Amino acid sequence: MLPILHALQDEFGYVPQAALPMIAEALNVSRAEVHGVVSFYHDFRDKPAGRHVLKLCRAEACQSMHGEAMAEKLLRDIGLEWGGTTGDGRLTVEATYCLGLCASAPAAMLDGQPIGRLNQEALLDLAHDARHQQEGRR
């Protein structure tokens, strides 16, 4: 079931509620079971994400390099909670727990691209660019 859910999320940016009965039917399991799986895994969203998704690592190695304070400042500046999307629909900021970039902390991932050795300025710039860049440049 995971490959199907990943494919849906790749396509739509989230797993639409409407798709669950179809998955249940195709795999011959109950709807409750499908719902159980979707809700268990942190990856799957139940609502669309912004055009860009910024995942910030909140695990220990990134904390040791003060990633937490940087993330908090960013969220404050753009008025978001973890998992939130900006009003213009351009940026979602999500928490993640380790990207395997722990010797280049603090680390992040923007639309699947790894970013390391962040500092406060670089992080704010990253979010700013994601929100204001002309489409097609990235």
Partner 1 sequence: MARIFVPADAAARAVGADKVASEIQAQAAKRSLRVDIIRTGSRGLFWLEPMIEVETAAGRIAYGPVRPEDVSSLFDAGLLIAAAHPLRLGRPEELSYLKRQTRLTFARCGIVDPLSLEDYRTHGGYRGLQRALSLGPAGIVEEVTKSGLRGRGGAGFPTGIKWKTVADTPAERKYIVCNADEGDSGTFADRMLLEGDPFVLIEGMTIAGIAVGATKGFIYIRSEYPDAIRVTTQAIAIAREAGYLGSKLAGSSHAFDLEVRMGAGAYVCGEETALLESLEGKRGTVRAKPPLPAHKGLFAMPTVINNLISLASVPVILSEGAANYADLGMGRSRGTMPIQIAGNVRHGGLFEAAFGLTLGEIVMDIGGGAASGRHVRAVQAGGPLGAYFPPSLFDTPYDYEAFAARDGLLGHGGLVVFDDSVDMARMARFALEFCAIESCGKCTPCRIGSTRGTEVMDRVMAGHDREANLALLEDLCQTLKFGSLCALGGFTPYPVMSALKHFPEDFGRAPNRDVHAHAAAE
114 binds partner 1 (CB under 8 A): yes
Binding partner of residue 5 among ligand FES, partner 1, none, CB cut-off 5 to 8 Å per kind: partner 1
CA distance 4 to 112: 19
Q: Residue 59 Cβ, how far from partner 1 at the closest point, in Å? A: 4
Binding mask 64-83 for partner 1 (x = CB under 8 A): xxx-----------------
Task: Kindly identify the residues of this chain, within the stretch 26-55, that bind partner 1 according to CB under 8 A.
Answer: 27, 33, 36-37, 40-44
Answer yes or no: are the C-beta atoms of 118 and 108 closer than 8 Å. Answer: yes
Tell me how far CA of residue 132 lies from CA of 10, 52, 71, 81, 113, in angstroms: 23, 11, 19, 20, 18
